[in-house]
Chains A and B, each alone.
Chain A
Amino acid sequence: MAQGISTLSRGARAGSLLRALCKTPLGAISVVIVLTFFAVGITADVIAPYDPVKLDIRAKLQGPSAEHWLGTDQLGRDVLSRLLVGTKVACFLAVTSVSIALVVGIVLGMLAAFTNRWIDWSMLLIFDTVRSFPTIMFALTVVALFGPSVNSIIAIVVISTFPSYARLVRTQVMSLRNAEFIEAQRAMGASTARILLRHMLPNVIGPVLIVASMDIPLVIGVEAGLSFLGLGVRPPTPSWGTILNDGFSFIRNTPWIVIAGGLPLIFTTVAFTTLGERLRDILDPKLRK
């Protein structure tokens, strides 16, 4: 209905945003890395040169060679193939857990800001309680109770990150609540749902998406950390964390596994954070000048 009035398409705006992101060399590199991350995440099984779980004890702990670009691990598995397939796990985790946390956070944040004082107050208390629980303690407890699995990691990430989205949305909605354009809506008799969806959401979503893009490194870090401790993805499924764990045991004699295993983590996390910062600079008019 009303959207049809604007002839400016969303696609055109997304295009100009992408161009703005690529303006600096760092931004452009980050865009390339992030796109590669998703591309590898989808196609990993096809492009991996070897079967990542195929054992070859005779070829164990070999250094980088023409055959195995990044060498082999203690069971003779190809490290490069394992890293590529490990991207799949990281990609899946990043997308699912951040989107679930986002939706939960936005809904609860808006509810907190728009319902009565007592509901708001008790939600804040819950948000703060979750935040005062160190992520890793919480993760350890969840894993102790429900066992290590990808689902446990998703649950851990969602529960430990949604409060920060909810709080951000709540503050933003609160500060917009008395803005004149919202008051104008109320004077016209617009329903609460309409005010929230058509007028609050578009103004609130930007900062939240930026925080979310910066949380993807956090998810990747949590997976790496938990899997490294043996509490995340279960072997033999390759993930970046399990590869680091494998490599750590042989760090003195065959350091290339740790070196190679750390690089994709570094590249993706730095790329996502850089993009988040660039996005904020572009979208936040206060910092733009």
Chain B
Amino acid sequence: MSTQPLLVDIRNLTIRFGAVEAVRSVTMQVGAGRIMGLVGESGSGKSTLANAIIGLLPPAAEITQGSMTFEGRDLLSFSNRDWQRFRGQGVSYVSQDPMSALNPALRIGEQMLDIQHWNDGGRPEKMQVALNALKQVKMPQAKARLGMYPHELSGGQKQRVCIAMAIMARPKLLIADEATTALDATLEVEIVKLLKELQRDIGCAMLFVTHHLTVVEELCEDVTVMYHGDIRESGTVQDVFSTPSEAYTRNLLSCDPSRIEEKCRRLPIMSDLGLKSIADPERDAARIDQTAKPLLSIRNLDVTFRKPRSITDLISGTPERRVEAVKSASIDISPGETVALIGESGSGKSTLARAVFRLVPAGRGEIEFDGTDLLSISQREMRPFRNEMAMMLQDPIGSLSPRMPVGTSVIEPLIISGQSKGKDLRSEAIKLLELVGLDEGFVNRYPHEMSGGQARRVGVARALALRPKLVIADEPTAGLDVSIQGEIFNLLAELRETMSLSILIITHNLHVVRHLADRMVIMYHGEIVETGPTEDVVSAPQHSYTKVLLAANLHAKFGTG
């Protein structure tokens, strides 16, 4: 594998949670100074394995067999004191969720002092070390940050603090557990670049745990692929990505929408790679009714949020605070067309979608649906229009009523719109579930008894219950494993062909949407900065932000970009 000496040597390691084997007889080596990517989908056991190396398995977990050494020292025989001394200097850790990784009650500087238990120097000396570390991770205004509390920092800044803490002791191994997953694509690129630089400067080894194949390809030298607690494949990134020897790895690579260059009509899925078919421009054009008036036409829409004044504000005369979430946005969607509204968190894209359904107090402008301005009618007059458009919210499970069996959830639109009379609701529910590929048995299931992919299908079924003309889908594939993303994509692609749907997809994820969308609309800080046919936007972006976004999302060159 490599010529460097071994740092971590794991052999035949098995970790159980009660009766469940989360990690099954796993053998893995990390060479000193190497960057190893540990890849797998959710539930593959990759995080459990990473936690074992740092000795932080949850109490319910038990190591039943195997060995684990670090520079030849047996980790499994470590006492609590040994672990404590080992952590920080031997191995350190950047956690998945930067938002919750810092103690909310202590200042950043205080926390950075605490972890310097290996430093015998006094307080000023430790502060200096902390300050240097913050500068090393390129934290703006590093000195001022030391006196701040975590809630005063942004997500990206918190993650920088976490990384600074991780490198402060010059560890021999840095474990990054999904360290960039919660971040926006452009930020992810920055953090990955930073990690690579730091690793080079310090010369530590790195274990990068992720489900994101592209990041591994760009960042890592070695890769280990896990599936259901087993190691399926390991080797150098070059070997594994160009000539994967295992079917699972091969399928995973070919199902990742971000690795498919050409625009697809159907994406390959894990169980059926042959499903893949290339998009046919003529067929797509025929689906869209260009001659008709746009089905949905948003013109110069402004949405402004007002923060209500409290009593103390009234007393002290603080003026009302306003946030302009959407500024003069215009979008047209033709019958049958699929438009993607793309932007990062806080760009106002979700607010815009909610404004169409009048879920947020709409501001000025026009939202014309099928010839009627939705902003000028009352909530009562709005009712019939709600039957012709449907909304799918982001969280597949959270958007279903938790105490209601999904069979009931699916037919709710029928009941609410008063179209349930004289119908056999049970067979309606079964019909709808079958439409999205779920069998009759799902009628009695509760949302928490389903996987994310299944719940998403239920969401699609509910959206289609009234045969709407327009579906607005907020991040339809977010939080789903890569292999499931393709299935949901195919479902939407199939349904829009059979039902002549218009779809507005709201997302920050270009990988999937680039295959599905006819047109792209790019949103940045509440404003629409670019719009055009998908092929044009992807191949020749005009606005500088679009270029940055595309670079971060698609063929990112982390090392040089």
Contact = CB atoms under 8 A, between A and B. Distances in A.
| A and B associate | yes
Interface of A: 1-8, 117, 179-181, 183-191, 194, 198-199, 202-203
A171 B413 CA distance: 28
Interface stretch (B135-143, B164-172, B331-339, B400-408): B400-408
Contacts of B416: 185, 188-191, 194
Given A180-B398, A187-B359, A6 B413 contact: no
Contacts of A2: 408, 411-412, 415, 420, 425
B5 interface: no
Closest 6 CB pairs of A and B: A189-B386, A187-B391, A202-B403, A180-B399, A180-B393, A6-B405
B401 A183 contact: no
B407 A6 contact: yes
A181 B417 contact: no
A5 B404 CA distance: 10
B447 to A, nearest CB: 8
Contacts of B425: 1-2, 4-5
Contacts of B462: 184
A258 B493 CA distance: 77
B221 interface: no
Given A184-B393, A187-B391, A5 B401 contact: no
A184 B399 contact: yes
Contacts of B401: 181, 185, 198-199, 202-203
> Which among A7, A117, A179, A180 has the greatest number of chain B C-beta atoms within 10 A?
A180
Contact of B444 (A3, A8, A203): A8
A194 B420 CA distance: 15
B398 A181 contact: yes
Contacts of B390: 187-188
A179 B403 CA distance: 14
B117 interface: no
A263 B308 CA distance: 54
Contacts of B393: 180, 183-184, 187
A181 B393 CA distance: 8
A125 to B, nearest CB: 12
B426 A180 contact: no
Contacts of B523: none
SS of A interface (majority)? helix
Contacts of A3: 408
B57 interface: no
Given A181-B402, A183-B393, A1 B415 contact: yes
Given A180-B399, A181-B398, A187 B357 contact: yes
Contacts of B359: 183, 186-187
Contact of B405 (A5, A187, A188, A203): A5
Contacts of A189: 382-383, 386-387, 416-417
A199 B412 CA distance: 11
A5 B398 contact: no
A191 B398 CA distance: 20
A286 to B, nearest CB: 13
B443 interface: yes
A201 B394 CA distance: 23
Contacts of B429: 5
A282 to B, nearest CB: 15
B370 interface: no
Contacts of A194: 416
B35 to A, nearest CB: 34
21 contacts: A2-B408, A2-B411, A4-B425, A5-B408, A5-B411, A5-B425, A6-B405, A180-B393, A183-B354, A184-B399, A186-B357, A187-B359, A187-B386, A188-B391, A188-B412, A188-B416, A188-B417, A190-B412, A194-B416, A202-B403, A203-B401
Interface in B333-392: 354, 357, 359, 382-383, 386-387, 390-391
A8 B462 CA distance: 21
B62 interface: no
B403 A184 contact: no
A181 B405 CA distance: 13
Nearest to B414: A2
B395 interface: yes
Nearest to A202: B403
B403 A203 contact: yes
B461 to A, nearest CB: 13
A180 B407 CA distance: 18
Contacts of B417: 188-189
